[in-house]
Amino acid sequence: MIATAYGQLLLAKLVLAGAALGLGALNKVSLTARLRDAPVQARGQLRASLAAEAVLFAGALVLVALATTIAGPGAG
């Protein structure tokens, strides 16, 4: 499946989604605890982290759109 364009797009989507989920887990474990201790400093870090998550998920959505419209499962 990795030999096809569809498989490669699917793999890339999984990598991006996995990275976004990992970043979300890091937020939950690390940054939310820091919000209690140093809210001003942690707020900026959390904002940057959430922006990175949004970019990763947007990239995953673009890859899904490409996979389903350009390189469908039967195309390659």
- pTM for the full predicted model: 0.78
Angle subtended by helix axes 5-26 and 39-69, to nearest 10: 160
Q: Give the mean model confidence (pLDDT) for residues 55-61.
A: 95
pLDDT in tens, 38-48: 888 888 998 99
Q: Give the number of other CB atoms < 10 A from CB of residue 45.
A: 15
Q: What integer pLDDT is reported at residue 74 of this predicted model?
A: 65
Is 42 within 8 Å of 34 (Cβ atoms)?
Answer: yes
